[in-house]
Chains A and B, each alone.
Chain A
């Protein structure tokens, strides 16, 4: 967790020093989407290298899918409702 904070702060520091650099912004704009795809690919490899992944999906897939779909739906609805209430309250 500390490493994540350190990287973010290093990026902020970089912007404070060279935030106006057109070259740095070009590099960032060009490589950011590619780096996201590389990250997601390796994340997929990390999940897929589990040799028991297929049998886990067969045994526990429905329960897992139900919990994740309901959790995501619940969190989206709750955040939208909270933000809506506080927007009206201002």
Chain B
């Protein structure tokens, strides 16, 4: 299934780049993504709702899972700092790009609007790649490192596109933590990106 998921993204990118898709598909890709996502979130909610003790367990026995957003933010920014040592990006630039937390559309727009179009392109690519890496890593991490660690790579996308993958591979409780993680990180993106850039 993991290979199929990566293949689905790669097929979409390549077919669109090659111009082999009808114009209508290209034009409506955004709304198709959105409506498919709504349907998946409905399914995820259905799964969570069937396990009526899941919410209670996360907020009682598994309270440490609520540390996941803090760890994701701290680790991501530490990673951004480390990336500045091996690239020609400055420290603030690398931190600002990493603070997109996988939300490629918003982080790219913020940086481009702030007068850094090249950095906006880096943010777009970097955060797209983060999402692609997450799709491949979530099943592996869920098996080898535990369900809550599997939430970390997805960043802000764990409340939308990677949430169904978390739910399928890491379970209901991890999906709840994933939604919370994505919610917190999504709210931080418009604050942290300009702040770290020094704007």
Contact = CB atoms under 8 A, between A and B. Distances in A.
A7 B183 CA distance: 14
Interface string A69-87: 1111111111111110011
Interface in A1-40: 1, 3-4, 7-16, 19, 24-25, 28, 31-33, 35-40
B121 interface: yes
Contacts of A64: 97, 122-126, 129
Contacts of B77: 74
Contacts of A59: 118, 121
A13 B41 CA distance: 12
Q: Binding site of A, secondary structure by majority: helix, strand, loop or mixed?
A: helix
B45 A76 contact: no
Chain B binding surface SS class? helix
A42 B122 CA distance: 22
A49 B26 contact: yes
B32 interface: yes
A63 B89 contact: yes
B58 interface: no
Interface of B: 1, 4-5, 8-17, 21, 25-26, 29-30, 32-33, 36-50, 64-65, 67-68, 70-72, 74-80, 82-83, 86-89, 94, 97-98, 118, 121-131, 133-135, 137, 141, 145-146, 148-149, 151-153, 155, 159-161, 164-165, 168, 179, 183, 186
Interface of A: 1, 3-4, 7-16, 19, 24-25, 28, 31-33, 35-49, 53-54, 56-57, 59-83, 86-87, 90
17 contacts: A1-B159, A1-B183, A4-B41, A11-B42, A13-B49, A14-B45, A16-B49, A36-B40, A53-B17, A63-B122, A64-B122, A64-B124, A64-B126, A66-B83, A67-B83, A68-B130, A79-B149
